[in-house]
Amino acid sequence: MELAEAAVELDRVEAAADEVRARSRAVRHLLDDVRGARVTRLRLLRRLLEEEDDYAHLTQEQRAQVRVMVSLAATVVTVMGTRIVDAEGRARLRERDSASRSRSASCAARAAQKA
């Protein structure tokens, strides 16, 4: 009976490890998307700030560009602050919260690429 129990436990641990790997890949993919958008926007922001570094003197369009960069930075912080596993090592955290964060981060990356 011990061997059967060990096999069941091994299956459970392997399934949990698969979930952790899948969550890790999803977070990495999301960060790559945001990084791509950030690199493009950062060049534009650098040029903008070289021309005018006083936010009060920026046009509405220029202020929108600054807001996009701030949003991307906040998205990166949110994604990086999202735990991949819970205290017991399971990847299934509050799925509604993490799914909502993932959608928000994806939306921010797509908006930045379009802007």
**Residue among 44, 40, 27 nearest 105 (CA):** 27
Residue 56: domain span: 2-114
Confidence of residue 77 (pLDDT cuts 50, 70, 90): confident
6-40 burial, b for 16+ CB within 10 Å, e for fewer?
Answer: eeeeeeeeeebeebbeebeeebeebbebbeebbee
Instruction: Record the tokens describing residue 64, joined without a space.
Output: 């929108």
Looking at the structure of the chain, the number of domains it has is: 1
| pLDDT tens digits for range 34-73 | 887 777 788 888 888 888 889 899 999 989 988 888 888 8
